[in-house]
Amino acid sequence: MGGLSFMEEMKLVKGFKPALAGKPDQSVIYLPDPETVGVSVMDIPYIRPKILVKENDPVKTGTPLFCDKRNPRIQYVSPATGTVEKIIFGERRRLKEIVIRLQGKEDFIRFETLTPEAVDTIQKPDLVRLLQEGGLWPCFRQFPFMDTADPDLEPPMIIVSLNGNDPFSPHPGAVLEKEFSVFEFGLRVLGKLTRRIVVSSRQSSLDQLNGVKNHVTHQVPDLYPAWDPGVVLYRLKTTVEENRSWCISAEHLLLVGKFLLTGTYPVKRVFTVTRPGDQKPHIIARQGSPVKALAGRFPDRSLITTGRFNGRPVDPDSHLGFFDTTLNIIPDNPEEELFGFIRPGISKPSVSRTFLSSLFKTPKELDCNLHGEERACVNCGYCARICPVDLEPSFIIKALLSDDIEDALSFGLLDCCRCGLCTYVCPSKIELTHLLSDGITAYYKDKQ
Amino acid sequence: MNPLKKLFESTRTHFSGSGKFKALAPLFEAVETVFFLPSHRTRHRPFVRDSLDLKRFMTFVILSLLPVLFFGIYNTGLQAGLAGGKAYTVSQAFLTGLTYVLPILIVTYAVGLFWEILFASIRGHHISEGFLVTGLLFPLTLPPTIPLWQVALGISFGVVVGKELFGGTGRNVLNPALTGRAFLFFSYPLTMSGDVWIAGKTAVDGVSGATALSVLAPEGQSITAALADSGFTLSNLFFGFIPGSIGETSALCCLLGAAFLLLTRVANFRVIIGGMAGLILTSLVFSFIPGDGGSWLKAGPLYHLCAGGFLFGITFMATDPVSGPGTDPARWIFGFLIGFLTVTIRVANPAFAEGTMLAILFMNVFAPLLDHMVMKYKISKRIPNV
């Protein structure tokens, strides 16, 4: 890896085509440190957390807060210096987040550093240990379950995705600006873990990438979710072994690079906040900042998510997680329309052609309403028509509902990247993504 | 608040909880959602949803059927007038047609909805919008002279046996409207075939009430000439000024409906195009087979396309997504075979003049098999991920 590489253009026609309102601005603002930060568990897949601190314990930046019982060496660390203010549990005493109140001057836990020259000589076990101690191992995710990567495995491929999960996730230009050398260093570190590194980028992001552009191996169309690592893997894979590939976001790769270069836990992250009718700048703030601090003022009853298609809903009083990079403020539109089923719908967002809006390319505002009621599946085929990994979601759902996991798997259940588009288009309002996701999770747990 | 909304809110208590009409909750819900599009918040990802719902989806099928419906009413009156030796104006013909078609429509919806509401109430389901389509399709496939008790029986069979016995909407193997028609066709052949296509004809003698498909040319005459002699010129077949089932006669109106369904992408174009391709190819091939020039064997693609109920069937019946296949390649095959079987039955089976209904029902039965084969093929092309 390294140096100039040839960029391949990926063709993909399935995805979400309508333009969306509320695209964030390219400018960047810095948010002052908040009073509290949190480390959320809600965005960590399959974790069984073991808490390592007590309330009122003093913590430094980099102090481990909890680890994963499945592999206690994988730790999650504090992104600030202060005291543990609160450990918040949810239903069935499941840990939700640990809140740190910022106090005093920032004090870092010091880790070993790795110079660019030493990358070639460091042994893989040492590298893994360093990243695990520093709380950065979770940056690596492993297909097909998108679980935290198994450090004992050599992945056939690591996909570095320059773009986040939401159409309006932070622009890689804003994330990688001035960090070119760190990014290159990160790529060299990846070379210690795998033989094949794929760097994918949305077409629209390429212009502002400068030097990073030379490292992009695959360019994908500007069509959600073409840049999702799951979609990229589906397009690239040629063997069964590649189903166990890993992925990492470009921002996380930067964190890995910075951590190894400085020996301290990197705390600054780039966020976007999207809202219809608003163009908010990119925000640089501390990891785990409060949702309210980033979101600012928003209309009542809005739904806040970390990805309108494939994120999670967040409580305004909670803190952003390690993997969260965007907040979508989605308005609620509770008004029930008279004769809604027959209105021409000039401004209704739809990928179908049953609204006049399909004739106009103006950006559409999406709200958080279902626009209908759940009905039986009528086999209309809208889900298959939009699935970026060529699944037949309705067939898989029917297999899952009849407990036929073998059929569901052979139909490609594990290729599902949970982009949410099948559910988005379903006129019967069936929770396809939820059912698919539950099916994948159930299969994962069954295998443990 | 909207006064209508107020009315719903004030009557809701009777239909929910311990209200007097709790059993009819699905009916209340169905009526309410016709007026007010329900819009709950999303609870699972994705948190945004498309504006299209099934109600609108089904409404668009009904919209696409309106040209067929209105022309069918007009033509029923027109044919009745012709049979009675009267030249009706457009409005006279329409009003006369209405006296025949409206009772059939009302009986279909009343009886069909009764079964829908009964099953939905017992099962605690929503009332499916799909019935609005079935309830309009079924009358359009009937001759205008059909006795109303048979209409009631037919739609009952279609809804109960064709759909509800299989578990309701989304689970039926056969198209319910066609199931009802097939039931009538085989149970009461006297009112479903032969001299039944012109309303009010019994008053006058000497008018043949047969459809184009039952025409056979005498020795030495070609089928097209024989058709023209009986009034079935190609233009009459295309525009639909001929006797036949209420909705099937006008190829033009069916094509208008098809165009609307394809433009809005409510119907899958693969079924319609595949069906037309199947019919055209098969009828072309058949026209080269040496044989009796006076039968439909020699009619050629245009006559096969415009005569009978093929365009109606392929546009509105075969595109029913529930009873059709769910994968794209299977949809092509499904459509193509309907076209092929329609011509084959018309030409090769002297017992049935028309083959569309049987072809579609037959392929409905095979749709799951087609899907199964397509899925097997698709699996073989995927890199396994287990």
Q: Identify the pLDDT of residue A333.
A: 82
Residue A75 has pLDDT above 50, yes or no: yes
Q: Identify the pLDDT of residue B290.
A: 84
Question: How large is the C-alpha radius of gyration of chain A?
Answer: 22
Confidence bin at A3 (pLDDT 50/70/90): very low
DSSP state of A369: B
Residue A89 has pLDDT above 70, yes or no: yes
Q: Identify the pLDDT of residue B169.
A: 87
Residue B84 has pLDDT above 60, yes or no: yes
- Looking up tokens 């009706």, which residue turns up? B88
- Residue A210: other Cβ atoms inside 10 A: 12
Tens-place pLDDT, residues A219-240: 999 999 999 999 999 999 999 9
Whose CA is closest to A223, among A442, A421, A433? A421
Q: Identify the pLDDT of residue A2.
A: 42
Q: Identify the pLDDT of residue B23.
A: 78
Expressed in angstroms, the distance from the first to the final Cα of chain B is 54
Question: Is A334 within 8 Å of chain B by CB?
Answer: yes
Angle formed at CA A137 by CA A131 and CA A142, multiple of 5 degrees: 145
By mean pLDDT, which of A264-273, B21-30, B221-230 is the weakest?
A: B21-30
Tokens of A258: 């910075």
Tens-place pLDDT, residues B352-383: 878 899 999 999 999 999 999 999 999 999 99
Cα–Cα distance, B294 to B229 (Å, whole number): 13
Cα–Cα distance, A158 to A191 (Å, whole number): 9
Q: Which helix (H) or strand (E) covers residue A312, if one does?
A: none
More confident residue, B5 or B357: B357
Q: Judge contact between A318 and A99, C-beta under 8 A.
A: no
Residue A1 has pLDDT above 50, yes or no: no
Confidence bin at B85 (pLDDT 50/70/90): confident
Of A308, A336, A411, the CB nearest to B37: A336
Evaluate whether ipTM surpasses 0.95. Answer: no
Most B CBs within 10 A among A42, A339, A352, A405, hence the mutation to make, goes to: A352
Number of helices (H) and strands (E), helices first, in chain A? 11, 20
Cα–Cα distance, A257 to A276 (Å, whole number): 35
Burial class (CB in 10 A: 0-12, 13-18, 19+), B379: middle
Q: Identify the pLDDT of residue B199.
A: 77
Confidence bin at B209 (pLDDT 50/70/90): low
Whose CA is closest to A312, among A162, A427, A431, A420? A420
Q: Identify the pLDDT of residue B19.
A: 77
- Cβ within 8 Å of residue A8, ≥6 positions away: A217, A218, A219
Residue A18 has pLDDT above 60, yes or no: yes
The fraction of chain A above a pLDDT of 70, given in percent, is 99
Q: Identify the pLDDT of residue A209.
A: 85
Residues on chain B touching A369 (C-beta within 8 angstroms): 39-42, 49
Question: Is A303 within 8 Å of chain B by CB?
Answer: yes
Cα–Cα distance, A198 to A218 (Å, whole number): 7
Residue of B nearest to A237 (CA): B383
Cα–Cα distance, A394 to A398 (Å, whole number): 6
Tens-place pLDDT, residues B138-194: 999 999 999 999 999 999 999 999 999 999 888 999 999 999 999 999 999 888 877
- Looking up tokens 């037309």, which residue turns up? B276
Q: Judge contact between B305 and B311, C-beta under 8 A.
A: yes
State the pairing for strand pair A246-249/A303-305.
unpaired
Contacts across the A-B interface (CB distance below 8 Å):
222
> Average of pLDDT values for A152-178?
94
> Average of pLDDT values for B236-265?
94
Q: Identify the pLDDT of residue A5.
A: 52
Confidence bin at A4 (pLDDT 50/70/90): very low
Cα–Cα distance, A254 to A249 (Å, whole number): 9
